[in-house]
Structure formats: C-alpha cells, structure tokens
C-alpha cells in the first residue's frame, strides 16, 4: 500500500485500518497541552546556570548576590543533592554537577523565581569558583596513557552488566562466532575501510522541560516531556535519594522524542528546585540549552572488513568501533553493544567478529537516537556489500539476495529470526525503481537493507470495562506523537470486537499505570501491544463467564459478536457488554478488569554458537526488516547532493495502522537524509559551535523529495499482536548507506565520512581514487 | 533588574484587550505568559522554526521576533481565534486525515502558513506548497503528509 493512492479513513476502524490519531483534533486546534503549557497555582519558573568549562573542579559557590535578585525564591547547586547517581547502564550521573563539571553546558546551579526572565537574570549573578582541569575531547585522547580521568570513582559505580570499565573506558563489548582470522584465507574478495560518522542532534521541535510540585506531606508530582514516566521516576529517585513511592510521574502531550527524552534531562533539577522552594516550579529549556545539555547521536569510528567467495557468498566480517560517550554513560553501552549485534546486517555470514570501546569525553552525553547505533555501522557495512558486488559484477539486489538471513536462521550471536519479509521488501523496491526517470535520464541509484529489533524489557496493560460496557485502557506508554495511543486502542478494540472509539486510553501515570519501560527501541506496538491483546482477552473471558451465567449455558456455546455483544451460537439472543458490566459492578463477580505484564525473555546470546563479552542486552526482541532505494542528483559545480526519489519498503509484520507506519517511514527517512547530507554538531574546542537552528540545519519542506514511496510488507510475526512488529526506527537506519551507495554510483567515489557534504562529494569527484577504500 | 511592566492595547482574536507585559516583551512572551494564549509555541525563539507563527493584521508573523509594543492597536489572531474560518477548518480536517499531525508541536504554525498561502493562491502547485511551508520545521512527518493535506484542502476549497 502506498500513499500514492490515498486510502479512505475509517472512523470505526480497528486493526489494519488507517484511523486518524486520537490526539489529532486537539493538535490541529492548538489545544493540546505540552509541558510548557502547564501552569500551577503559585508556580515559579526555573532557569539553569551552565558550566563554562569542559572539565573543572568546583571549589565553591557564592550565591549571595543571586539570592538578592528580584523574584528569586530558591537556588540549588551540587550541595543540595546527595551522593545519589543515576544511569540506565552505569550509575555515574548526579542530578546536577557535584564536585566537578564534565562538559561545557553542564548544569551547575538552578534558580527558581517569579518569572523565567528573573530566574535567568539571577543565574548570571551566581559565582562559581572553578579549578580548571585538562579536558578529554576525543575517544583517542581519552584512551591515551596520561589522559585526565573524568570519573575517578568509576570502579565503585553500580553497573547493570559486565562493562569492563577502566580509566576513561566506560565499557567494552566483544562478540564473535566462527573463526574470522582463519576465514580470510577462504575469501576471493575482501574489502576494508575505516569510516567516521558525526554527532547528530535530535531537534525534537519541543525543547525539554519539566514541572514539579511537592504536596504537604512531601510527596512530589512531576510532569515532564518524556518517553517514559517510569524512567523519569527511577532517574529522579536514584539521583535525589527519594523512595520511588514518594514521586508521581505524569506526562502531558510530548512534542516528539527520537531518543532524547527517554532518559533524564532536567527532571531531577526541577524536582530539587521545587523541594527547596516548596512551590511548584516549571523549567523549560531554550533551544540552545536543549542542544547543549540533553544528548545527541554518537559519533563513531568504524573499522570494517568483509570477505566473500567469487560467487558473492559472504564468508567473514570484522568490525571494530570506537565510540565517543560524552560525560555520562546514559544509554551509550546499550547503543554500542546493539550496533555490534547489528554490524553484520541481515546476512548469513558464518565468521563474524565485532568489538567496541566506549570512551568518556568532556562533551555532553551521547545517547539513544532513532536507530540506536545501527545507522553508523550500516553506513560502513552496506557500502562494503556494494563494493563486493561491484568487484564480482553482481548488482546490488543480487549480491544481497544471495546472502539474506531467512526465517528460522540465527542472527549474529544467537537470536532466532521469526518472520522475515526482507526478500519481499527488495522485490518491492526493485520493481518500483527499475528503469529510467520519467524524463528518460538514468538513475543514480543506491540501495541498502537493514533490520531492527522490537521487544525490549518490561511492559504491562490494564483493560477495564466501565459500567456501560465501554473500555478504559491503561498501559503507561507515553505517546510521543507517533500514535501509540491510537494503535494500542486499535489492538484493544479488535480483541474486544468493539468500535475503536469506545476504547479510551489513559494518560501514563506512575501511580496508576502498569510499568512500561518506555516509548523507545521501536517497542510499543509489539511488546505493549502483546500485553494489551492479552489483557483484553482476559476481559473477554470474564465477560463470557457472565454471559454463560446470564444465558444459562456453557461458555463453549458462546461467541463474541461485533459491537460488544455475546450470544449463543446459532441463536439471535445475546447480552451486551453494558448488561454484563452492570451485573459485574452491582450484583455478581465484581468489575471486569484484565491485566497482563510481560518481558521479552528469549536470550540474545547462544553460548553454543558465539562468544559474548560485555553484552548490555541479554534479551532484545523480534526483527523487523527494510530495504531502501534512493536516486540522487549531484550538482557538478558544488558537489551538493539531493535526493530525487526514494523507495522505502518495510516488513513490520502487520501494520495495525498503515498510515501511521507510512509516516514513520517518511519521517525516519527525512531525518536520515539530514544525517546523511548535512546535519552535524560541530565543536570548537570544548564548546559546541552551532547550538541553534540558524547554524544547525535540519531538512525543511523544500529539501525533501516529493516522491518518497513507501511499501508496507506484512510477514506476520507469530508472537506479535495480530502479527505486528516495530516500525519506529527502521525507516532511518538505511539512509546513510543507501545515499552513500547512490553517490558512489553518481560520482564514482566512495565516501568514508558522514555527512556527505557538497565539499566532500566535490573532492571525491575531482579525485575519486584518493578516497577509495 | 526590576521588570517594568507596560500596558498595551491590542485586538486579540476579535476582542479588545489591555495587557500589562514586561517592557521589551516579544509577542510570544506576552501571548503565553500574560494572556495564556498557548497555541503559539516556543520552538527556537530565534525566528527559524515557525512554531510560534500567528497573524498580525492578517499577515503571518513570528511571534518570537515581534515586539508586543509593535502590536499596539493592531489585530493579533491565533489558532484560538480561528473558529468558523472555513479555510482553516478545511485544512485542519485534511491534516487530521492525512497523518500530517504527529507530535503536533509544529502543527499550529504550519496551518497558519498554509492558510495564508491558500488565501493568496487557492490552487497552489506542490512546489508552491513546499516553498510556503519552508519556514515551518517539522521533525516528525518528513513533510509528505503535510503537503498532501494542504493540496487536498486546496482542491476541496476550489471546487
Ligand atoms: S519560536 Fe518563533 S520561529 Fe521558532
Ligand atoms: S509533527 Fe512533530 S514537529 Fe511536526
């Protein structure tokens, strides 16, 4: 299905129908409330003082002048927070700088005042006495023998996996199967290269923010821009030493995430300010602060080598990555480990070795960003597949088809592949992109394929039948705009055979929602969807028991009918959900509630097959697949690349809401296009030089091709809800690889460095040989 | 820094209002902090993203770059005041249907720019739509479904 032939919108639709998102109307009317739109009685505004130094010891603070400034109610510094540290993999981060600052832009102090302007003004009056320390500005520097050490107490930090931390080495991961070293001798063709990728900013249009208030008993309520109310709760409580029962975490509408709102940003600071001020405090970052303080996509150095037989059969691949962590571990160990798991691509390669080092540096933390390490390694890997094809005279489709992993195969280190529609994705792209352009000119075509997992970690769902037979669904999953509330309601409605609009989705609330790790890792449709389906099924079963009693028959004689009715096979009489629920509430059995919690528990690592050291995710999930074709134009005089047309085909198991899947593919591709061609955070020494939308370019409507064709391939996953798998990241992963392959086709030059700026591409055109391999 | 408040009179969504706002405040600040008009969003505060777009005397402006003092005696219109606007209602319906609304943070600004385009050019080409929206950054949709929505609305309105 493609947007080229618009589908009608079904208002009563359930699974497989492109119903409009439940939040669309309030959003087009400007009535949706985001964090900056919330106000509380007596509320103060917060502002942050950022570190001017990349690495310095804090000797003391002088707050006297700032406290006297107009409107100021409270100031916090590192002295106001305890010794607690937070972190998803390694607990290395205080709520606010304490003892040391580790990057330019790191929050050092925060002020609560009557207005934002007063709070910002008072921040400028805070004096901090620093003792400057030498800084580490690259992973290579960080690993040097005499490097200054960022985290002197790293050995004592709590770690949730075997990180192998040492000095500035945050973590290391080593994976291998087969015998790579011996396998090179069996290869007829080998390509190798060293690649670098740049840091990319998320630029969700809503900057990060939070609002906290403390009640009379000292319990905190916290609203924030987030991708998980539960990770917010955990991070704030760990860093501030609060029992989790003392903090309630909620969410307004979220102005998109892409990874930057998954782990903490300024929620701990906002809570600390509200606790000190004993008044509600709202803190909203400026765009510049959002660039400088939150997180970004990791820059990678990738060394990769791939070998194949003369018939194109892949034999061996080796991949070594050096990853810049920034000042705090955050999600970085997971990103690096995941990129190594994915570095072979969706191919059968019997001999594989992958290793990585993650190194602390004095920059803002790098962290989760749509793709989670996959685009970086794929940029190298998918170019090498093309290069092998070129050497052997095999076109990009043929070389890939010859090597695809199939259903039932094991992925690198062990996970078993369920459904796999990648072959059909390739067919769809090949079919649609074949031939010349409409004007007869030849295409500059590039292809890349990818896989991505969905399923990580714990989730739950509670389905309640209300008195009138309509439904309340509560999952704790934050909808960051991609439409998970709608998709989960569709799954629930389908299972209950109710019209979609009779399912209301509760807003996530740590007081009332079941645990949900987060809206991240392409997981909500798949894993939360499974919980929703199972919970809804329990409500159906309970309703069946009631119906059997009301109709005085056996449950086996009953059937669930469309519209919330249960009747006997072969008879017209039935009872409605309203009758059943009324009876349950007031007469027999008690209200109908179905709940389910689960965690994806298939092990990643098969020890019989592979060796794995420092694997941060012992269980990862099921695989989605995608193929991306692009046709580019390269300007001869400037080297500027633009995408003329793109074909994105993704196997998402089953599209619960096809339109929302297509928008994920569009949005992911365009974010990947910016990443491939121009987006880049640039540091001038220790300072981020372009923390503004004037200096950091993201694609606008004029920068994207009109013709982005999407193809939804459905190879239902046996474990997914109605067969569904994740779709959130798969549209981005392949962009840099496909675009680099198209640029090579157009110019004859291979590129090892992202982004593919006009300057780089022009240099390649002038001297193609200089850049090769 | 004692914040001096200044009194301004302007027409907001058809009603005369008097508002005391910080001297030197931008229209975005005044709308949000003093008038609680929240549909205009602070995406960059630098005039780049378009999330704050509102109409002053019927022309789209960036509220973050417009001083409130300059609006003295002028008519400011925001999404809150668009009820009953046929072009806007049609655009909104098409945006909902096309999937052009994802996180929604850019949506108000996008719609106000699109409405302005359709007032000037009721039958724009796709290229014209893209040009008209090039000052509104959307990080979610990849623009395709937004352009579809605007073209769809234009077609319906011109029938
Ligand atoms: S907030 Fe005004 S243009 Fe971005
Ligand atoms: S819908 Fe999120 S920025 Fe446009």
Q: What's the burial of B15, exposed, middle or buried (CB within 10 Å: 0-12/13-18/19+)?
A: exposed
Q: B55 near B31, Cβ under 8 Å?
A: no
Do the domain assignments include residue A15? no
Residues of B with Cβ-Cβ distance to A666 under 8 angstroms: 141-145
Per DSSP, helices labelled H in A393-421 are: 396-401
Residue A38 confidence (pLDDT): 98
ipTM of the complex: 0.97
CB contact under 8 A, B139 and A669: no
Which CATH fold topology does B86-157 show?
Answer: DNA polymerase; domain 1 (1.10.150)
- Tell me the per-residue pLDDT of A129-179, one tens digit each, with 9 for 90 and over: 999 999 999 999 999 999 999 999 999 999 999 999 999 999 999 999 999
The residue from A561, A578, A599 where one domain ends is A599
Domain shared by A320 and A425, yes or no: yes
Mean model confidence pLDDT for chain A: 95
Beta bridge partners, A58, equal: A130
How many domains, chain A?
3
β-strand pairing of A56-62 with A72-77: unpaired
Determine, yes or no, domain membership for A684: yes
DSSP letters of B86-127? HHHHHHHHHHHHHT--SS-TTHHHHHHHHHHHHHH-SS--HH
Mean pLDDT of chain B: 96
Kindly report the backbone phi and psi dihedral angles of residue A740, in degrees, each rounded to the nearest multiple of 5, phi listed first. -65, -40
- Cross-chain CB nearest to A205 (options B96, B106, B146): B106
Domain that holds residue A276: 35-133+207-254+261-293
How many residue pairs from chains A and B have C-beta atoms closer than 8 A?
193
Q: Do B102 and A708 touch (CB under 8 A)?
A: no
A394 DSSP 8-state letter: -
Question: b vs e for A25-50, b when ≥16 Cβ sit within 10 Å of the residue's Cβ?
Answer: bebbbbbbebbbbbebeebbbbbbbb
- Total number of residues shown for chain A: 773
Q: Which ligand 1 atom sits nearest the alpha carbon of residue B62?
A: 2
| The two structure tokens encoding residue A35 | 């964090």
**DSSP one-letter code for A7:** P
Contact A281, A73 (CB under 8 A): no
A612 plus A735 within the same structural domain:
yes
- Residue A2 clears pLDDT 50, i.e. is over it: no
> Is A685 contained in some domain?
yes
Interface test with B, best of A5, A25, A27 (most B CBs within 10 A): A27
Render pLDDT for A659-679 as a digit per residue (tens, 0 to 9): 999 999 999 999 999 999 999
Residues A443 and A508 in one domain: no
Same-domain status, A749 and A614? yes
**C-alpha angle A238-A239-A245 in degrees, rounded to nearest 5:** 40
Q: Tokens representing A72? A: 């100021």
CATH code for the domain of A40? 3.90.1170.50
Residue that finishes a domain, picked among A556, A573, A599: A599
pLDDT band at A352 (very low <50, low <70, confident <90, very high): very high
What is the tens place of the pLDDT at every residue in A578-609? 999 999 999 999 999 999 999 998 899 999 99
What is the distance between the alpha carbons of residues A295 and A328, in angstroms, rounded to a whole number? Answer: 10
The pLDDT confidence band at residue A7, using thresholds 50, 70 and 90, is very low
DSSP state of A704: S
A630: β partners = A446, A646
A485-515 residue pLDDT tens: 999 999 999 999 999 999 999 999 999 999 9
pLDDT tens-digit profile of A281-311?
A: 999 999 999 999 999 999 999 999 999 999 9
Determine if residue A382 is left, alpha or beta; phi over 0 gives left, psi from -120 to 50 gives alpha, anything else beta. Answer: alpha
What pLDDT score does A13 carry? 57
Domain B5-81 in CATH 3.30.1440.10? The answer is no
CA of A24 to the centre of ligand 1 (A): 22
- Backbone Cα Rg of chain B: 16
Instruction: Assess whether A576 and A479 both reside in one domain.
Output: yes
Nearest-CA distance from A480 to chain B in Å? 6
Regarding the beta carbon of B45 and ligand 2, being less than 6 Å apart is answered: no
Question: Any idea what the CATH number is for the domain that residue A641 is in?
Answer: 3.30.365.10
Model confidence over A695-729: pLDDT tens digits?
A: 999 999 999 998 999 999 999 999 999 999 999 99
- Distance separating alpha carbons of residues A481 and A257, to the nearest angstrom: 8
CA of B21, closest CA in chain A: separation in Å? 12
On the CB side of A238, how many CA atoms lie within 13 Å of its CA?
A: 20
- Establish whether residue B104 lines the binding site of ligand 2, counting it when its CB lies within 6 angstroms of any ligand atom: yes
User: Band of the pLDDT at A771, cuts 50, 70, 90?
Assistant: low
- C-alpha–C-alpha distance, residues A61 and A68, integer Å: 15
The Cα–Cα gap between A138 and A136 comes to 6
H/E element holding A196? strand A189-197
Q: Are residues A499 and A592 in the same domain?
A: yes
**Among A11-15, A39-43, B36-40, which stretch is predicted with the lowest mean pLDDT?**
A11-15
CA–CA distance, A453 with A423 (Å, rounded to integer): 17
What stretch(es) of chain B map to CATH 3.10.20.30? Answer: 5-81
Give the integer Cα–Cα distance in Å for A200 and A735: 14
Residue A640 lies in a domain: yes
Do A407 and A363 lie in one domain? The reply is yes
């Amino acid at each position: 299905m493609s947007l080229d032939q618009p589908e009608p919108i079904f208002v009563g639709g359930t699974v497989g129908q492109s119903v409009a998102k439940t939040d669309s109307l309030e959003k087009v009317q400007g009535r949706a409330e985001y964090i900056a739109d919330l106000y509380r009685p007596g509320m103060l505004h917060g502002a942050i003082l950022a570190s001017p130094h990349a690495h310095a010891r804090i000797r003391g603070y002088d707050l006297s002048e700032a406290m006297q400034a107009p409107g100021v109610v409270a100031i916090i510094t590192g002295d106001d927070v305890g010794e607690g540290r937070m972190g998803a993999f390694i607990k290395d981060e205080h709520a606010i700088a304490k003892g040391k600052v580790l990057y330019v832009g790191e929050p050092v102090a925060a002020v609560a005042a009557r207005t934002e302007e007063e709070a910002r003004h008072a921040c400028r009056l805070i004096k901090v006495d620093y003792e400057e320390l030498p800084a580490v500005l690259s992973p290579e520097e960080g690993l040097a023998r005499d490097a200054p050490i960022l985290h002197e107490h790293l050995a004592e930090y709590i770690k949730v996996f075997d990180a192998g931390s040492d000095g500035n080495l945050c973590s290391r991961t080593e994976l291998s199967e087969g015998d790579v070293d011996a396998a090179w001798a069996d290869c007829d063709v080998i390509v190798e290269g060293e690649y670098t990728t740049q840091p990319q900013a998320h630029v969700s249009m809503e900057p990060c923010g939070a609002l906290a208030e403390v009640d009379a008993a000292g319990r905190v309520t916290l609203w924030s821009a987030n991708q998980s109310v539960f990770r917010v709760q955990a991070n704030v409580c760990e860093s501030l030493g609060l029992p989790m029962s003392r903090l309630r975490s909620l969410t307004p509408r979220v102005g998109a995430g892409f990874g930057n709102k998954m782990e903490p940003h300024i929620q701990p600071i906002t809570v600390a300010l509200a606790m000190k001020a004993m008044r509600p405090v709202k803190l909203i970052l400026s765009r510049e602060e959002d660039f400088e303080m939150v997180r970004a996509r990791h820059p990678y150095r990738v060394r990769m080598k791939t070998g194949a037989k003369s018939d194109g059969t892949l034999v061996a691949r080796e991949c070594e990555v050096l990853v810049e962590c920034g000042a705090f571990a955050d999600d970085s160990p997971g990103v690096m480990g995941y990129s190594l798991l994915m570095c072979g691509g969706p191919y059968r390669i019997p001999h594989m070795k992958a290793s990585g080092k993650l190194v602390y540096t004095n920059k803002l933390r790098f962290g989760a960003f749509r793709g989670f390490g996959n685009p970086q390694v794929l940029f190298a890997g998918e170019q090498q597949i093309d290069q092998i094809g070129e050497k052997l005279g095999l076109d990009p489709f043929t070389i890939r088809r010859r090597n695809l992993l199939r259903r039932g195969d094991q992925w690198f280190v062990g996970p078993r592949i369920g459904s796999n529609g990648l072959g059909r994705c390739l067919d769809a792209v090949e079919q649609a992109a074949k031939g010349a352009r409409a004007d007869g000119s030849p295409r500059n075509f590039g292809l890349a394929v990818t896989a991505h997992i969905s399923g990580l970690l714990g989730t739950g769902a509670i389905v309640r039948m209300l008195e009138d037979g309509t439904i309340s669904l509560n999952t704790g999953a934050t909808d960051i705009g991609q439409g998970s509330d709608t998709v989960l309601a569709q799954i629930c409605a389908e299972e209950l055979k109710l019209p979609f609009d009779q399912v209301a989705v509760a807003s996530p609330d740590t007081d009332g929602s079941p645990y949900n790790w987060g809206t991240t890792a392409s997981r909500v449709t798949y894993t939360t969807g499974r919980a929703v389906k199972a919970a809804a099924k329990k409500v159906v079963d309970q309703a069946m028991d009631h119906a059997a009693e009301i109709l005085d028959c056996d449950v086996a004689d009953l059937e669930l009918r469309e519209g919330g009715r249960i009747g006997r096979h072969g008879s017209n009489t039935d009872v409605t959900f309203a009758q059943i629920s009324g009876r349950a509430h007031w007469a027999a059995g008690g209200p109908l509630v179905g709940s389910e919690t689960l965690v994806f528990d298939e092990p990643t690592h098969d020890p019989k097959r592979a060796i794995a050291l420092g694997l941060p995710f012992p269980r990862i999930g099921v695989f989605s697949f995608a193929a991306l074709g692009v046709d580019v134009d390269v300007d001869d005089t400037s080297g500027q690349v633009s995408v003329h047309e793109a074909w994105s085909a993704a196997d998402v198991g089953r599209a619960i809401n096809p339109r929302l899947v297509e928008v994920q593919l569009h949005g992911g591709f365009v974010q990947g296009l910016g990443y491939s061609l121009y987006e880049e955070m640039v540091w001038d020494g220790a300072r981020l030089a372009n923390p503004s939308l004037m200096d950091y370019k993201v694609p606008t409507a004029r920068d994207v091709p009109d013709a982005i064709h999407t193809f939804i391939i459905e190879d239902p996953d046996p474990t997914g809800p109605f067969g569904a798998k994740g779709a959130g990241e798969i549209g981005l992963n392949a962009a840099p690889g496909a675009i680099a392959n198209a640029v090579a086709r157009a110019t004859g030059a291979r590129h090892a460095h992202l982004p593919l700026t006009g300057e780089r591409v022009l240099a390649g055109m002038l001297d193609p040989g200089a850049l090769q391999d | 820094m004692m914040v001096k408040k200044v009194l301004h009179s302007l027409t907001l969504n058809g009603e005369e209002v008097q508002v005391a706002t910080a001297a030197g405040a931008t229209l975005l600040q005044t709308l949000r902090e003093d008038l609680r008009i929240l549909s205009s969003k602070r995406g960059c505060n630098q005039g780049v993203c378009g999330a704050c777009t509102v109409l002053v005397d019927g022309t789209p402006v960036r509220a973050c770059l417009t001083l409130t003092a300059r609006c003295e005696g002028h008519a400011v219109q925001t999404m809150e005041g668009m009820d009953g606007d046929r072009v806007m209602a049609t655009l909104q319906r098409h945006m909902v249907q096309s999937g052009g609304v994802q996180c929604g943070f850019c949506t108000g600004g996008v719609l106000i720019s699109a409405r302005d385009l359709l007032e000037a050019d009721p039958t724009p080409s796709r290229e014209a739509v893209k040009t008209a929206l090039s000052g509104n950054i959307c990080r979610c949709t990849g623009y395709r479904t937004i352009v579809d929505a605007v073209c769809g609305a234009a077609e319906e309105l011109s029938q």
